[in-house]
Structure 1
Amino acid sequence: MSFVENLIDQVARATGLGDNTRKFVGVLASFIFSQSDGFKGFQKLFQKAGLGGIFESWLSGSPNMRDIDGGQIQNALGERNLGAIAEKAGVPKTLIGSAIASALPLLVRSMTAGGVVPNGIPASLAGLAGNVDWGKGTIAQLRNNRKRGSLWRWILPILALLALAYCGWHMRGKSPPVGTPAAATAPVASTDGTAQSVGAPTFAFQHSGGKVDVSGTLATTAEKFQLLDALKSTFGDDRLNARLDVDASVKPASWLDRLKGMLPSLKAEGLKFAFSGDAVKLDTSALPEAERIAVSSLFQKQLPTIKVEGLFDRGVQAIKGLKAGYSATELTAALNQTTVRFDTGSANITRSSEAIIQQAADAIEGAPAGTRVEVGGHTDNQGDAASNQLLSEQRARAVADALIGAGVPSDRLAARGFGSNRPIGDNSTEAGRAANRRIAYEVLP
């Protein structure tokens, strides 16, 4: 797809202008270079309106593109210019501000590719709108409008006086109508947005055959380009096939910054995942076991507030491998391979651990009748012993409560904290301390 066709496709999805997008892009590009100093003159309009920083964020190479709204566009360009653009592009005046706000960041980023500010309108864009006159014709039109406005300033008061005289004559001798005006009784739709549905941001990723395919819908153009820039930086523009839409009714992606930071560690061939709102489905089935564990651990650690489905966990695999009639000892051997994570320094179980808790609960419920399991909390030796002891007790209780919530009878569980008294790793290393921060299970007599 050519530069222009790709740009038109992106603007069409951002603005919803459909078949009229091509002309709209051409008119907007033509207006940019109609300024006395071309592109730089257009940029000065935003600088004068105090929006220079936003405009600069759209230039190619800027890491974080910032949003702009229709009101800010009007402040920078002026109502008359917006009206002229709307008329020449065939876009309703009520929509022109928001349409430019959605399209302009895309247009500026595309035209400054490679970090070069264009001296004139690219030939590929100039032909989209045909011959657009931003000079004398426009000024003459404004003058004509002023003349018509001046004429109406004389006519309207006369018409108003005639109307009042007619109404006075017509109503003479009549009683005013009884009842409430229709406007007072007509229902008024809420404008506070509470009744409007808000969509969920989505993002699907697939790495296959040396290519990375991504698709989805984000709330803003800024979010879209932040993610695209991170993807291109990680995988290369030539290996990336992206189709990302922008929809203002969609919520901001809470996971976007975390995902951008994770991308350099997500280069495994065969990896798939898909975000939908505050949940993600992970598919590591095509990866070697070591990579499955590493990727799953990364998702679980970096997305603590996101519900992660499809995590590869040795304990979960061991639980799934239990054969009918498994013993209590076999049960705890499987449970002790699971990894339950908490928010740093607290006993809050991360959302990404919910699926593991459910698997553990199902396994405990399926154990022989009378089996009782102790949930033990353990910490590393960082900090004072009393704090570690308390934290270990709180985490053990949190897991036991979560298991009860997942269906395990409370009389089959006990919770106990051990602090840092039972290390299984070397507390002088990060890997050892990570191993010591754990939940362990034992069969009670």
Structure 2
Amino acid sequence: MSLNVIDLIKGQLGPALVSQAASQYGESESAISKAIGGLLPAVLGGLANNSGNPGVLDAITNASSSGILGNLMGGSSNNSWIPGLLSSIFGDKISGVVNAIATYAGISNNSSSSLLNLVTGAIVGSIGKYAADNNLDKSGISSLLSEHKGILSSLLPAGLSLASLNIGDWAKGYKFDNDNDTIKSASLEEPKIEVTRSTTPTGTFPDRNNNDGGGSIWKWLLPLLLLIAAAYFLWKQCEKNKTTTVSSTANSTAVIQDTATAVAHSDTTASMSTPTNARVDENISLNGTNLKGYKGGMEDQMINFMKSGAYTNAANDDALKNQWFDFDHVNFKSGSGNQLEAGSEGQLQNLVAILKAYPDAKIKIGGYTDKTGNEATNLKISAERANFIKSSLEKQGVGNQVLGAEGYGSQFAKVDASASDAERATDRKMSVRFTK
């Protein structure tokens, strides 16, 4: 086999995306990792089983230009071709796949359905990019998928049953006993036991090196051992993702300046985000009132900044322009400048509360993108998002404290456009700073 597609896809589904998905779907990171571990071979198996399907090949061929890898979290929920593709490969069994993954990973069906779309986007996008980079036509893509039919059933984690869904030969290699949860080879008959009189002389024993009889046990035991080994490897990978230390967002954050020529960066506390695996939703005290947020998150940083007197003591705007505070939970739907993802309003309300607690404070909103896509579009959409937040704050009665909103596009992005989506996520953000 020339390429293991699962290895190709792993870069798109790293710890940063797992953490983001866990936060957005309200699930634990370990459960999200477990679900992804089951969905990867399931979806790839469905594609491999339909390697000659024109709809599948068209989706993969067009994926490189769809921008799906640029925003997996938003793109997977907004690309209409993903549900159509899933219907093409799973038919009326989609709900069965969703339910099987939800039960296996211990997550809700809604989360399982969202992850199914996300993983499908990552797989199709990764294969599409690989095909485009290596000049593979549809015939080459079909061959690449067909090569994976033989290994996918062995990568299904132990405890995840898909054989009963009847979604392809690749999923029928192993079936799960509903009574005792043991795994049996579906292609073998149950062993028959015959009782015969022994011809071995009393006091002697059969030759252990004779494989004519007992050696046949390996015909069913070897596949079982291989399956267990594959499941253990996949579980260890999920555990590794779960405990991976903080991503580059937590370790090194750029300080973005307003001027078009300024590119200086420094590791200031005001611009740092909290390590992903240390974030715990808790009460952040605002002059006796509690806001729900993260210790070290945007609200906590802004409140501490004001309490320190740094704003009051700043002589002018130049003393403030290098200290930005990144929103932790304000996210826009892919390609939209005025549609927030679910759960984003809460942090905007927290910002309103902070401004009302410090009525003399003034702020500015900034929007940023990564280096992918057309820069004119990046500038336009980042400006739309910044102005949308400004308008939202105005509607909540603090408009006189919002002095400006600006979109910078990818001007201050640090991660190369060829990097993975998880790595580029550090450049896609909305931020706020105090101003005079």
Q: Same fold (TM over 0.5)?
A: no
What is the TM-score of this pair, normalised by structure 2? Answer: 0.33
